[in-house]
Structures are given as C-alpha cells and as structure tokens.
Amino acid sequence: MKAEAERYLGEKVTQAVITVPAYFRDDQRQATKDAGKIAGLEVLRIVNEPTAASLAYGLDKKKEEKIAVFDLGGGTFDISILENMGEGVLQVKSTNGNTHLGGDDLDQEVIDWLCDEFKKEQGIDLKQDRMALQRLKEAAEKAKCELSTTLETEINLPFITADQTGPKHLVKKLTRAKLEQLVSDIVEKTIGPCEQALADAKLSPSDIDEVVLVGGQTRMPLVIETVKKIFGKEPHKGVNPDEVVAEGAAIQAGVLTGEVKDILLLDVTPLTLGIETLGEIRTPLITRNTTIPTKKSQIFSTAADNQPAVTVNVLQGEREMARDNKSLGKFDLVGIPPAPRGIPQIEVTFNIDANGIVHVSAKDLGTEKEQSIKITSQKMTEKEIEKAVREAKAKEAEDKKRKEEAEVRNQADTLVYATEKSLKDYGDKVSASEKKKIEDALNNLKEVLKGKDIEKIKKVSEELGKASHKLAEEIYKEAQKKAAEQAKKAQPPPGRGPAEAGEEKPKEKKSKKREDIVDAEYKEEEEKGKEEK
C-alpha cells in the first residue's frame, strides 16, 4: 500500500494515519502500528473507523450529539454508536456487528436465483460449472449495483454453457422489486446488531442525532430504507461511502501535521444542485448539505432522433420541477452526431471546489466534444436557504404530482417511439389485423398525449402495451433465431479443430444504451453562428 501511494503521488510517503475497526483490542492496534513501522511508515495515529467516518462527514464540528455509524461492506457489517464530547472529541460508546454479513451474501442470492431460473428453462445446473459461476458472480454484482439507480436491468450472458443441442445463453430481466424480495431476509439481519448496540449504549433510536453510512452496499435503496426504519431518521449523505473512512483518516492526518487546518472549516452546499431534463423535471446531482469540495458525474442522453445539441440548465433548489428552482446558468453542447434518441452518451459533471465555485461540464463520450461553465458562488443568507427549504416542503405533494405527470408523459412518449420503430422493423411479421390493432392503439395514444388527462394517458399506454404483445413475441423469436444462427456459425465444421476453423467465438455485445441514462431536454440551434454560453 505504501508503494501504491508513492506511485500515485510521485513522491516518498513517510507518515500515515491508519484506521481500524472500533472493536480492535489494544494488542491488535499495537500490531497494526508495528506493521506500519515495518513498512517504513511513522504511524501518527490509529483511528477508529467510525470516528474517521464521522470526521469525513464533519460531525466533529457539532457539539454534544450521538452518532450511529452503519458500516455494510462486501463481507462484514459493523454498527458503532459514538458520542461527540465537544471540541472534536468522538468517543465510541458501543459497537456490534456480523463478520459474515455483507454485499457478497446479496450477490449469492442473485446467483442462486439465476441458476434456479436457468435450470427451470434449460434443465442445466450452472452451479456445477465453475466458469459459469464466475461469470454469474460478476453479472450479479453488476446488476445489483445498477439497481441502486434504476428500476430494471438485464443480465445477458451469451454462451454461458452448452449441451448436445448446442450453446446456451442466459438472458434475464431483474427488477429492483425482485432483487429486494431476494435479499430482504439478509438485509433484515442488520437490525438485531443495531438494536443491541443501542441497548449497550443505553440509548433509544430517538436519542441518535446523526446516522452515517459507510461501505458501498449502503447505496442500495433497501438498505437505506432499513436504516431509516431502525433509527427513524434519514441517514447523513454527501460523502462516497466507499471512501469515507479513508477520507476521515486524511482529514485527521491534515490536522496532526498542521498542513490543512482549514479543511475542517469547509462549507457545505446549502441547496441541491442539478439540471433540467425532459418534461421540465429537475434531476439532482449534488444534494443539499453535501460537504465541499465534491464532484459528481451522471450519464444523460438525447430526447429526440438526430438531436444536434443539448442545453444544460444548471439548477439550485429543492423543488421537483425545473421552473420552481433557481437557474444558475445555461450552456449548449453542440455538434452531436445524428443518432436515434437515447443512443448518444453525454456525461454531465458537477465539480465544487473548496471556495464554493461550481464547475459544470457536459461531454459527448462519442466525439469527446466538451463544453463547460463556471458559476461563482453566490452566498445565500440563512433566511433565503430556510425560505427555499420551507417552500419545497409546503409544495411537496403538488410537486410530486407534477413530477409524476411529467414522467407518465415521458414514458408514453417513449412507448410511442419504440412501437413506431418496432412496426417499421417487424411489422410484416404479424397479421394485417394485429398490425391494424397496434396502429389504432398507437394513434389513440398520440391523440391522448395532446391532452392533459394523465389517467387516460396511463390507460391508453396499457392498451398499446397489450396490443403490441404479439409483435413483441415476434421480435423475441427473431432475436432467438439470430442467436441460434450465430451459435451455429461459431461451431467448427466436423473433423476440424477450432484453430483450423479460423473462427472466433462471438464476443458479448455491449448494450449501446444504458438503462440508467436520463433523457435530456434540448433546444435546436436556430443559427449556425450561435454563440456558445
């Protein structure tokens, strides 16, 4: 690790602050310190991991409060209750956990489900195939991570195995709801240790002032909901849970060496920052009260075929609809190559430095073209911030309804687009009567979209979905046929080995469109010489 740090920094590393679990005994702490010495490091301090996490969240700056640090990693779970004694002193009151509970257990549930489903469909037990299990493990973890930000994902593993009839492929849709059903029992195992830690500290959930999340698995919505259920409050967010302990150690090192005294005085973002997306919806990127400096990126896409440009409208505020928030500035990313909607990948990055300066950039990942804007911090008064938050709470129900209406319209519009494309490509695969039924439902939805009756849009969207069922079956059959042809080509002729055949195994196709990509609102340029903001 010392060598890795030196390679990254380009200079010698001689001192270190090392974090350890709160339950480490004195001899374990001394052994850790000795290990640092053997590696050629002067260990400035051994810090409890939950204390480091609290430092990273800036909780040491507050006075006399009680903090719960919920740490769920890949293989272990720890819960620690801390008390801020004032003047930056954080004392661990109790700790509990499960050294055999973590993200790997959640992955295994997904793997078992995939194996069971594949066995039902193909009669082959993938649990006996070590190579297949390794691919399943990688796919399960990837799907689990994706479902933290999207409601559905596809697990696609071509040539997962083979039998006498030829190669077999695994293609399964996994929804967030199904994932939560699979892993709910495991996530609930975190409740017991939390209750025990509270009991050991002689506290009730209502006594806890702050809840801190540590570990990548805490990104999962079900885990966040479980934490809220245990402690009755929203967990503290704003720091990468994978890096929070290391970041706290770095802060402690800065304090001990006196090189970065001001880092504990850093401000936080007073209100949420985001951008406007399709349907005038505000999509947040950096949430309110995030400690700065901070950086966040998200992939967006186009909302129309052959869209030549996107306008990035930077917003500040807590309201769901773009127009109800403050616009900090706009800029255009132009020169996007012609492509169907949803195909271009545009990475929007928010970067706030220690001085509160917001840098926003948009980059077309296909062409590497980039455009950016710098927004100098406009310090808001406490009254202005309170007013914005108060208005957001007062209008919460109204905003939620407006956002839902916009999302229903977006989904219906996407359905229209997808159906038109499917009819164009596969319309000849269904009977004339089936095709007319789809076209009638399609035209009906287009007409309804001109009005404002959201319930009617929902109903007609469902009708179009049902009418398109036969077409969807034909598309699926066509895909299966192509896959079978591809598999047949991949097999060498009788009597010849693979090397003689000179044929390569088809590579797994990467989806051109990520499921978590958000459609971006845009404005087409009216003049060629339009000035870029």
Which range scores top for mean pLDDT: 146-150, 315-319, 328-332, 442-446? 146-150
The pLDDT of residue 116 is above 90: yes
CA distance 327 to 19: 42
| Phi and psi angles of residue 119, each rounded to the nearest 5 degrees, phi first | -65, -40
**pLDDT on residue 223:** 96
Query: Which fold does the domain 103-185 belong to in CATH?
Result: Actin; Chain A, domain 4 (3.90.640)
Average pLDDT, integer, range 478-482: 69
What is the residue-wise DSSP string for 63-115? -S-EEEEEEE-SS-EEEEEEEEEETTEEEEEEEEEETT-SHHHHHHHHHHHHH
Strand segments, DSSP code E, in 439-525 are 518-519
Name the residue ranges covered by the structural domains of the chain.
2-101+189-265, 103-185, 273-395, 412-474
* Residue 278 reports pLDDT greater than 50: yes
The pLDDT tens digits of the residues spanning 394-404 come to: 777 777 777 77
C-alpha span between 296 and 468 (Å, rounded):
39
Q: Does the structure show a pLDDT above 90 at 188?
A: yes
pLDDT: is 524 or 488 the higher one?
A: 488
**CB neighbour list of residue 249: distance below 8 Å, 6 or more residues apart:** 17, 18, 19, 47, 52
CATH class of 412-474: mainly alpha
Of 62-66, 351-355, 358-362, minimum mean pLDDT range? 351-355
Of the pLDDT bands very low, low, confident and very high (cuts 50, 70, 90), residue 445 is confident
- pLDDT-based confidence at 136, cuts 50/70/90? very high
Identify any residues that bridge with 297 across adjacent strands, giving them in sequence order: 349
Residue 239: what pLDDT? 75
Band the pLDDT of 529: cuts 50, 70, 90.
Answer: very low
> What is the DSSP code (8-state) at residue 219?
G
Q: What amino acid occupies position 354?
A: A
Domain 273-395 matches domain 412-474 at the CATH topology level:
no
Q: How confident is the model at residue 443 (pLDDT cuts 50, 70, 90)?
A: confident
Asked if the model's pLDDT at residue 114 lies above 50, the reply is yes
Report the top-level CATH class of 2-101+189-265. Answer: alpha beta
Burial class of 220 by CB neighbour count within 10 A (0 to 12, 13 to 18, 19+):
buried
Mean pLDDT of the chain: 79
pLDDT score at 259: 65
pLDDT over 70, % of the chain: 80
Describe the crossing of helices 432-448 and 454-467 by its angle, rounded to 10 degrees.
170
Indicate the fold that domain 273-395 takes in CATH: Substrate Binding Domain Of DNAk; Chain A, domain 1 (2.60.34)
